[in-house]
Structure 1
Amino acid sequence: MSSFSHANLINGDFEDGLAGWTTQVFGSANPIERAEGETTAQGGGTIPASPTDDHYVFTSQSGPAASYLTQSFTVSEGLNKVFFDLFVRNQASDFIIADTLDWDDDPNQRARVDILVGGAPIDTLEEADIIVNAFETQPGDPLVQDWRTFEVDVSDALAPYVGQEVVFRFAQVDNQNFFNFAIDNVNVGETQVPGDPEPADALPVNSLTSPGMVLLIGLFAILGLLAVQTRRLG
């Protein structure tokens, strides 16, 4: 089971495949793929192993396309940060930001990460639909961006939505050349890799099998038997 199962997002490390996520692809996009270690995508682009050297997902295509990876979640009260690791490989000459996320119209070569209001269209760029834009490629950015970890405090932006369902969205659009957008270790919460803390009064797993504890248990057992024998003799 994924270590992210207790986070605001389910399976943010993709160790359970794409469970919890919704994928939508258009045009010549390939299905969003999962890989472990270095891999080569269609078009010859190499994607290195993720920072945690485990599974990640990435986009690829054979021609103009759009790819979306989304997950709905309920906003928790308190500290909320957006965490994710990203790798970008753009084989066009630059990033291009059109007015829409259309792949079959004006030149468009970009990737972005957003939190949307619940029920917003998957391809929306309407200001009223976007609560947070946590990342977006820009013209002039390096065409290849090695894995980086992003941490963005979105507590204030999400505060009005506590208890409501919103949507985490990764979007990638291309119609100029091949484009790979790789993602790993996604979460919204206090930490990037959440887990269940051990209760303060819990005993360590090996405490009941340590030599001292075994001896103590044996001593109590002997004392119990002696007490029983004493009562019988009495």
Structure 2
Amino acid sequence: NGKTPPDPSRSDPNFPFEVPDPPQGKFAAVTDENGPGRRILYRDITLDGRYLLRLTVFYVNVGTFSAATISSRNTISDEPQYRIDLVSASAPVDSVAKEHVLANIFQAHPGDPPRLPPTEVTFDLSPWAGQTIRLRFAAADNQGPLHAGVDNIRFERREP
């Protein structure tokens, strides 16, 4: 409900797992669901210069990750995956079509461990300076809970 602080020992009564402490501040964004589906969080951002994106990702997955597949509509499928993409701001929010995805920033792959502790990811956004882009976080699952998290998202200005 957005008003109750998380309790790491009881984050999900059906599949309890410990939510890592946020590396920055007191809160992080984490998917916490009881059934299959897709969860997408995004923000359109105008880059008024050259920036380096830094963020912290983590996950706990009960199933196994699938290869990134595209449905017949070129959208994120429900097979277990966690991905962070840079997408054209005019694209449908769930599109993974090559003409819409500008860059893949992070993605869990088949064979990856079922747990990823908080891990910093960096990505150079300089090629899109002066443009409005969409930063998209997507988690999908159909084999059991996948708890995907992100925290400490920041844009560091780069010198020309």
Q: Same fold (TM over 0.5)?
A: yes
User: Would you say 1:63 and 2:35 are equivalent positions?
Assistant: yes
CA deviation map 1:29-59 (0-9, x unaligned):
xx78985674543221221212225211100
CA deviation map 1:79-120 (0-9, x unaligned):
x2121111110011x2112224132xxxx0010001111121
Give the unaligned 5+ runs of structure 2. none
Aligned-residue offset at 1:75:
1.5
Equivalent position SS for 2:151: strand
- The 3 A distance-change label for structure 1 pair 75 and 34 is farther
Aligned-residue offset at 1:60:
1.6
Higher strand share: 2
CA deviation map 1:101-159 (0-9, x unaligned):
132xxxx0010001111121111001111112100000011110000111122313x14
1:83–1:151 CA contact under 8 A, matched in 2: yes
Q: Partners of 1:32 and 1:124 in 2: how far apart?
A: 27
1:32–1:57 CA contact under 8 A, matched in 2: no
Q: Which residue of 1 aligns with 2:143?
A: 176
User: Would you say 1:188 and 2:155 are equivalent positions?
Assistant: yes
2:28–2:151 CA contact under 8 A, matched in 1: yes
Relative contact order higher in (CA < 8 Å, ≥ 6 apart): 2
Larger Rg: 1
Q: Which residue of 2 aligns with 1:134?
A: 105
% identical equivalent positions: 22
What are the within-5 Å matches in structure 2 for residues 1-234 of structure 1? 38=8, 40-42=10-12, 43-78=15-50, 80-92=51-63, 94-97=64-67, 98-100=69-71, 101-103=76-78, 108-156=79-127, 158-159=128-129, 162=130, 164-190=131-157
- The 3 A distance-change label for structure 1 pair 33 and 150 is farther
Q: Partners of 1:77 and 1:139 in 2: how far apart?
A: 36
Equivalent position SS for 1:62: coil
Give 4+ residue runs of structure 1 displaced > 2 Å after superposition.
31-42, 97-100, 187-191
TM-score by length of 2: 0.84
Give the unaligned 5+ runs of structure 1. 1-30, 192-234
**Between Structure 1 and Structure 2, how many residues are aligned?**
151
TM-score by length of 1: 0.59
State the one-letter code of the partner of 1:48.
P
